[in-house]
Amino acid sequence: MEDAYHAFLTQTELPQEAGTEGGILSGIRVAVKDNISTKGIETTCASKILKQYIPPYDATAVAKLKAAGAVIAGKTNMDEFGMGSTTENSAFGPALNPKDITRATGGSSGGSAAAVAGGLVPMALGSDTGGSIRCPAAWCGIVGLKPSYGRVSRFGLIAYANSFEQIGPMAANVSDCAKLFSVIAGGDRKDSTSVDKPYDFAGLKPEIKGKVIGVPKEYFAEGVDPEVGETVKAAISRLESLGAVIKDVSIPSMKYALAAYYVTCTCEASSNLDRFDGVRYGEIAPEMNLPWHDAYTKVRTAGFGPEVRRRIILGTFALSAGYYGKYYVKARYARQKIAKEFAEVLTGCDMLAGPTMPNTAPKLGELMKTPLEMYQADILTVPANIAGIPAISVPCGTVRGLPAGLQLMGRMYDEETILNAALAFEEANR
């Protein structure tokens, strides 16, 4: 399969990857993000430090794909360890946006989005820590769902920030996205954070009439491209014309979301990535004949890219003596406040709506000038991860020839409502 978008890091049609016949995904080729473990297939997290690492087991989500008859098409490109918003932080080169190859795919699941948008596969698995499914879905013009925290097993997902991340489906349309979600959803004894809440694909229907949609004013604040904002507002008006009830709401604590997220997730990354020392995973480094401290420093300096090193250092600093209370504890408090406000607003609404991203896909390199510019791109996606709620991005039009995404956010474990609403919107705009 020709890959003009560098969507894949590894492609495979190995015999052992053939799926079970007769399943809901029988014979369908599904791409898998390269931070999700696949037995016998190299899994690098797009990092040099994991080059040549071949997991001895499948992630639960991958095992469920195979049981449903899917064929694993390969492992997709991504920002290294999921740390980035453009898939330009890959150690093996960026993925290219099929809508315009001079532009970023979004990240960190950019390879999965490019594989679907470019017609290489109909479906793909991504993971979403702060928007990593929804961002590339919006910029590449496909559908991407971040499930509620715990609704999909994280067993076999190589951890970046455990308390935020979720494996989720990406597809060219809402129906395929829902079908893939129905396969991977449900509890897992191997993941103590998972919940036994499967999803029944048979229940998918274009249902929006009478649903109350809250529109937080913060989702159309300064920083959102005016044309993107108008395109999304038109999409919300379209939902209203289909029978939805639109309600203006506010989530004041959203102003703390980005800071709370980046403090907390870098702290978790500092701990999670401690295990990568050049001995237990990937290639055996020649530096191992040096004293341990020197070898550890050299291996990690060479094996990790600059963004990964930056986040490890930030997290280590925030957890250090004298700063733990000043940064981490305050971030945890802000996180609780944000989650509480989302829950309160959703008691009076069936879902919330707004733009997925504040802008359309930037030129390659444009968001890489300073880390802060890249972090700010996550402002509209991070809150759903903080609150643990489900969120879907569905294409809602174009701005200057590039896709824009409508984001629908639901109550905890209520993916059904936002999937049905997304399907209603998609069918009305064909």
CATH number of 8-252+339-428: 3.90.1300.10
Q: Give pLDDT tens digits for 262-288.
A: 999 999 999 999 999 877 776 666 666
Ordered alpha helix ranges (H), 134-216: 134-140, 174-184
Per residue in 359-404, pLDDT (tens digit) is 999 999 999 888 888 999 999 999 999 999 999 999 999 999 999 9
Q: In what order do the strands lie in the sheet with 402-410?
A: 8-11, 71-76, 29-33, 123-128, 166-171, 143-146, 391-399, 402-410, 351-355, 212-216, 245-249
Cα separation, 292 vs 298, whole angstroms = 10
Annotation says 132 is catalytic? yes
292-302: per-residue pLDDT in tens?
Answer: 778 778 888 88
Overall pTM > 0.75:
yes
Q: Is the pLDDT reported for residue 19 higher than 60? A: no
Tell me the C-alpha to C-alpha distance, in Å, between residue 177 and each of 33, 360, 375, 405: 15, 22, 27, 15
Which pLDDT belongs to residue 290? 74
Cα–Cα distance list, 401 to 140, 378, 398 (Å): 12, 22, 5
Q: Tell me whether residue 326 is one of the annotated catalytic residues.
A: no
DSSP assignment string, 127-141: EESSSTTHHHHHHHT
Q: Which of 33, 66, 75, 99 is catalytic?
A: 33
Q: What is the mean pLDDT of the chain?
A: 94
Candidate list 108, 112, 194, 253, residue with the active-site label: 108
Domain boundaries, the chain: 8-252+339-428
49 and 180 Cβ atoms separated by less than 8 Å: no
Q: Which of 19-23, 136-140, 284-288 has the highest mean pLDDT?
A: 136-140
pLDDT in tens, 300-315: 888 999 999 999 999 9
217 has catalytic annotation: no
Instruction: Please count the other Cβ atoms lying within 10 Å of the Cβ belonging to residue 72.
Output: 27
- What confidence tens digit (pLDDT) does each residue in 48-80 have? 999 999 999 999 999 999 999 999 999 999 999
Residue 14 pLDDT grade (very low, low, confident, very high; cuts 50, 70, 90) = low
| 121 pLDDT above the threshold of 90 | yes
Kindly name the residue from 85, 132, 148, 182 that is annotated as catalytic: 132
Task: Centre a 10 Å sphere on the Cβ of residue 331 and count the other Cβ atoms it contains.
Answer: 22
pLDDT band (50, 70, 90) for residue 187: very high
Q: How far apart are CA 324 and CA 395, in angstroms?
A: 41
* pLDDT over 60 (residue 202): yes
Name the pLDDT band for 322 (thresholds 50, 70, 90): confident
16: confidence class by pLDDT, cuts 50, 70, 90? very low
Query: Can you tell me the mean pLDDT for 327-337?
Result: 95
